[in-house]
Amino acid sequence: MTTTRLRKPIKHFPIIRSTLLILSMASIPFILFLFLSLSHSTHSHSHFHSHSHYIHIQQACKATRFPHQCQTSLSSLFNNPNPIHIIQSAITLSSQNLFTAQSMLKTFLDASTGNRSRTTVAKSCLQVFQYSHHRISLTSHALSRGRTKDARAFMSAALAYQYNCWSGLKYANDTSLVFKTMSFLESLTILSSNALAMILNYDLFGNDTASWRPPRTERDGFWEGYGSGTFGSGPSVPANLTPNVTVCKEAGSGCYETVQEAVDAAPDDVDVGGGKFVIHIKEGVYEERVRVPLRKRNVVFLGDGIRKTIITGSANVGLQEGMTTYNSATVGVVGDGFMAKDLTIQNTAGANAHQAVAFRSDSDLSVIEKCEFIGNQDTLYAHSLRQFYKSCRIIGNVDFIFGNSASFFQDCEILVQPRQARPKKGENNAITAHGRTDPAQSTGFVFHNCLVNGTDKYMELYYSKPKVHKNYLGRPWKEYSRTIFIHSFLEALITPQGWMPWSGDFGLNTLYYGEFKNTGPGSNLTKRVSWSSQVPCRVSFKEMTGFIISVISSSWDVRFQKCHGENGIPNPASDQFCW
């Protein structure tokens, strides 16, 4: 049977090009000041600088997907701005208009009393707008310190949050107020996209704006290399960490009784000087929904082992009115620098539950090691930013690894399990559904040295009737979806076609799905769909994983060592931009 497509591809409404929607009101006094100042100059002097000013802006804006909107929004800049000034101004415009969008959403929320659908969407938007503000602020800070890879990662996330709000509103687009809000958000995402594209070009070409160009992808033959091209074993959870608190099931033992209570006890905004807040979660089953909020940074979950320490929940979209995919997560993490090791996180929602997330992460530079994630549809929501999974087991069936993050999966087991409803009838399963919406976003999934297989129960079903049990490496949730499998073992359950379309030809000309030197009965490339790619032999490992290596090796390995020293011991003397 055909897989139920619960996420439909989104096509933007026509762009509202009104300058009032793009320029913030804060820009108007500055424009007036600029006009009055120029009026005192000679005609020739004014003409020279006006032309020079236009050329600088034009060259920078040609690197964006929306050059007209870019030039219009930056027309108030002073004469002869350098590339950094142009980019910082673009970032500021995004931030200012995000505040306006936030005000609009508050008005929208107040007007939605009694309408559960609109209220849920509005609250979700306000939540992710907070994260978007935070990432835009970090973008500006990172750029000013020359950390362009960080700036790209942060602005990619900021844009993702804005798009997610716009996407959610389409399900509640039943009033003129909703349409007005969506139209403004459309303009906001354009501003953010333009800023991100310029950051990307500055990272690639520096101040040479003549070389700047619209974002290109691997599909265009462009491969972004970085560093030595080696990744090694990657980051890991430090050994011999001393717990700050303990969670256990033993009443009266002095432990916290729930994981959430332990998280709440962590201090806010732990930085490099404060080390990590380590939570030892003893063996047992903890039935709860856990949230690690934005200000709880550097939190570490240490369990007693997979299937010994279990955090479980059953929230889902299909059977719970007002529930969203984002909020259905059993464990949801936003605070940066999160780590977890030796535990299981699951969502046990039953048949017809649809989206039911076990683990969702927005934690930048997070490290998950020797953990297990169990679910069905949407098990692991690698939502945004930079994430590393090492020696993990991920179990599900429909789009069960999805999101718009830059995630690296190393030495992991990826296992398909039977659908809960009529498992013998057959199904079409997509393992991944990456959600990149913009070609400048430094996001994608890389699976390196992983095993792609089914659980024992699923493989029994598969071998009983292989023609009706079809499994694909992925499908394009969004237009610029990007996923690569490298040196992995693909079992027989992977169909010869390899990859699955989402709906019609959506994303098929813009995605990048690559395979390189995989083995196993499912790795034969002779019958792969025409829109997937065998990575060319001329492409090096560093180029192949450039979008991941560039943000991982430059940030995890180097920064972790300089910020934390050996075994995770803090190094307050470090001048690195630390978590």
Write down the pLDDT at residue 4. 38
Chain centroid to CA 147:
19
Write down the pLDDT at residue 274. 59
Q: How far apart are CA 167 and CA 171, in angstroms?
A: 8
Chain centroid to CA 143:
20
Write down the pLDDT at residue 545. 60
Answer yes or no: is pLDDT of 359 > 90.
yes
Query: Contacts by 104-109 with C-beta closer than 8 Å and gap 24+?
Result: 104/180, 104/181, 104/184, 105/129, 105/165, 105/181, 107/177, 108/177, 108/178, 108/181
Q: How far apart are CA 507 and CA 479, in angstroms?
A: 4
pTM: 0.87
Per residue in 32-52, pLDDT (tens digit) is: 333 333 333 333 334 434 556
Mean pLDDT of the chain: 85
Q: 97, 216, 111: which is closest to 172 by C-alpha?
A: 111
Buried b (16+ CB within 10 A) or exposed e, 469-497: bbbbbbbbbbbbbbbbbbebbbbebbbee
Per residue in 79-130, pLDDT (tens digit) is: 778 999 999 999 999 999 999 999 999 999 999 888 888 999 999 999 999 9
Note if 399 is an active site residue: yes
Q: Which residues pair with 396 in a beta bridge?
A: 416
Averaged pLDDT for residues 384-400? 97
Which residue among the candidates 150, 364, 378, 411 is catalytic per the annotation?
A: 378
Q: How far apart are CA 555 and CA 541, in angstroms?
A: 18
* Distances in whole angstroms, Cα of residue 182 to Cα of each of 24, 175, 274, 477: 17, 11, 42, 20
Question: Which position has the token pair 């002095």?
Answer: 254
Q: What does the DSSP assignment read for 84-148?
A: HHHHHHHHHHHHHHHHHHHHHHHHHHHTTTT-HHHHHHHHHHHHHHHHHHHHHHHHHHHHHTT-H
DSSP 3-state assignment of 347? Answer: strand
Q: What does the DSSP assignment read for 8-21?
A: ----PPPP---HHH
Write down the pLDDT at residue 170. 86
Answer yes or no: is pLDDT of 56 > 90.
no
Beta strands (DSSP E) in 204-272 are: 245-247
Pick the more confident residue, 488 or 3.
Answer: 488
172 phi/psi in degrees, rounded to 5: -125, 25
DSSP 3-state assignment of 379? Answer: coil
Write down the pLDDT at residue 371. 98
Per residue in 269-321, pLDDT (tens digit) is: 876 455 899 999 999 999 999 999 999 999 999 999 999 999 999 999 999 98
Which residue among the candidates 342, 364, 399, 438 is catalytic per the annotation?
A: 399
Note if 378 is an active site residue: yes
Q: How far apart are CA 97 and CA 187, in angstroms?
A: 9
Write down the pLDDT at residue 39. 37
